């Protein structure tokens, strides 16, 4: 088990799974300590080499993997050695939370501040101004648009915003 990150924590494992998928999470859990090659990681974890490389690249982009190159003095070949560093994961999770909260607030305000009309067939949901331009007819199928009460959706968004704000 990789001691650099607590994979039993639902938030951390959920976040890492969203980044690298289930196979990537397995690779992280089975990754050997210290500097290792992608081939060594694949052999130890049982994850396909292409998946290991994709996972390492994603982790590298998110500053969770560090890569060091060594040149073999005899052959001139480059060897890439990898190790994981999750020391910044709490900070990264806070940034993700803030981004999610900001987006939820924007969507909440949009839903709360507008009036919607919807096609009974589910083709389209239009703002009031858009509905007036189509004479309250669905632009897809021609059915009469009906007022759409989004108060339940607004309530769900409000609860999510409140829950995230309290964490």
Question: Per-residue pLDDT tens for 53-81?
Answer: 999 999 999 999 999 999 988 888 999 99
Instruction: Identify the pLDDT of residue 4.
Output: 58
Helix (H) or strand (E) holding 36: none
Instruction: Identify the pLDDT of residue 166.
Output: 86
Residue written as token pair 């190790």: 83
What are all long-range contacts of 67-72, with beta carbons under 8 Å and residues at least 24 apart? Answer: 68/35
What pTM was computed for the model? Answer: 0.70
- With a cut of 90, say whether residue 126 has pLDDT above it: yes
Rounded CA-CA distance 85/105 in Å is 32
Residue written as token pair 């990898």: 82
Which residue ranges form the domains of the chain, and what is each CATH number? Answer: 10-87 (1.10.10.10), 102-166 (no CATH)
Among the ranges given (20-24, 69-73, 104-108, 156-160), the one the predictor scored with the smallest mean pLDDT: 69-73
């Amino acid at each position: 088990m990789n001691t650099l990150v607590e994979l039993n924590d639902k938030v951390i494992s959920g976040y890492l799974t969203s980044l690298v998928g289930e196979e990537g999470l397995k690779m992280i859990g089975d990754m050997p300590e210290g500097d290792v090659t992608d081939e060594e990681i694949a052999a130890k974890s049982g994850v396909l080499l292409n998946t290991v490389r994709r996972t390492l690249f994603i982790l590298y982009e998110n500053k969770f993997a560090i890569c060091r190159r060594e040149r073999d003095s005899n052959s001139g070949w480059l060897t890439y050695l990898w190790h994981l560093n999750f020391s910044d994961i709490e900070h990264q999770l806070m940034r993700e939370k803030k981004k999610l909260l900001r987006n939820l607030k924007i969507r909440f305000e949009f839903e709360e501040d507008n009036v919607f009309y919807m096609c009974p067939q589910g083709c389209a949901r239009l703002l009031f101004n858009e509905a007036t331009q189509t004479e309250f007819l669905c632009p897809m199928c021609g059915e009469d648009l009906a007022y759409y009460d989004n108060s339940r959706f607004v309530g769900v968004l409000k609860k999510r915003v409140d829950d995230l704000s309290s964490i």
